[in-house]
Amino acid sequence: METYGWLLDPKKCIECRACETACKQWNGVEVGVGVRYRQVRVREAGVFPNVTMQALSGACNHCENPYCMKVCLGKAIWRREEDGTIQIDRSKCVSCRQCQAFCPYGAPQFNTRTNVMEKCTGCFDRVEAGNQPACATLCPTGALQWGKWSEISGKGSATTANFANPAGTRPHIRFVNDPFPVIK
């Protein structure tokens, strides 16, 4: 099974949120229900007077060891055999929010209208058709990329400032050209 993952260059992210918009549009994510599959989060890094701002475009990292899947009481979270992406079967979701509580990356989100969890799908439908996920396609600077994990996993580093410790979940994301120190 070929798996996929993200490659993010925080220096190239200009906080335009084109990735968020593309994701919402492609996946038909409702507005006003508390769900954003992809989110650009801006954080401070460093110590005064050497403080910088860092933008991280985040979504589900389709982890090798997904905590969300392990704690799902309704067994609604599963791994697709075709590409290794982690999916939610909304019809099986029991709204316990355990996946939300245990995901260190904030991927699963509670839809306040449907009362079930939702998250990034990795646009598996687009990937099956030979395309990139919508968010990576629309990134104007190339800061966000998607590809075969076998090609991405050796690039950059496994973590960056303001990113949860990847040791337990082994997320499929790498950070390149990272000018920010890891803050512990």
The predicted structure's pLDDT at residue 179: 53
**Is 104 within a domain?**
yes
Q: Does the pLDDT at position 11 exceed 80?
A: yes
In angstroms, the CA 97 to CA 99 distance is: 5
Domains in the chain, number: 1
**Is 133 within a domain?**
yes
**Is 157 within a domain?**
yes
pLDDT per position as a tens digit, 17-64: 999 999 999 999 999 999 999 999 998 877 899 888 889 999 999 999
pLDDT per position as a tens digit, 127-184: 999 999 999 999 999 999 999 999 999 999 999 888 999 999 999 999 996 555 444 4
The predicted structure's pLDDT at residue 162: 85
**Is 184 within a domain?**
no
**Is 56 within a domain?**
yes
Return the SS3 of 49: coil
**Is 92 within a domain?**
yes
**Is 20 within a domain?**
yes
Place of tokens 């009481």: 73
The predicted structure's pLDDT at residue 43: 87
**Domain encompassing residue 140:** 4-175
**Is 183 within a domain?**
no
Tally the residues of the chain.
184
Q: Can you give the CATH number for the domain in which 112 is found?
A: 3.30.70.20
The answer to whether the pTM exceeds 0.95 is no
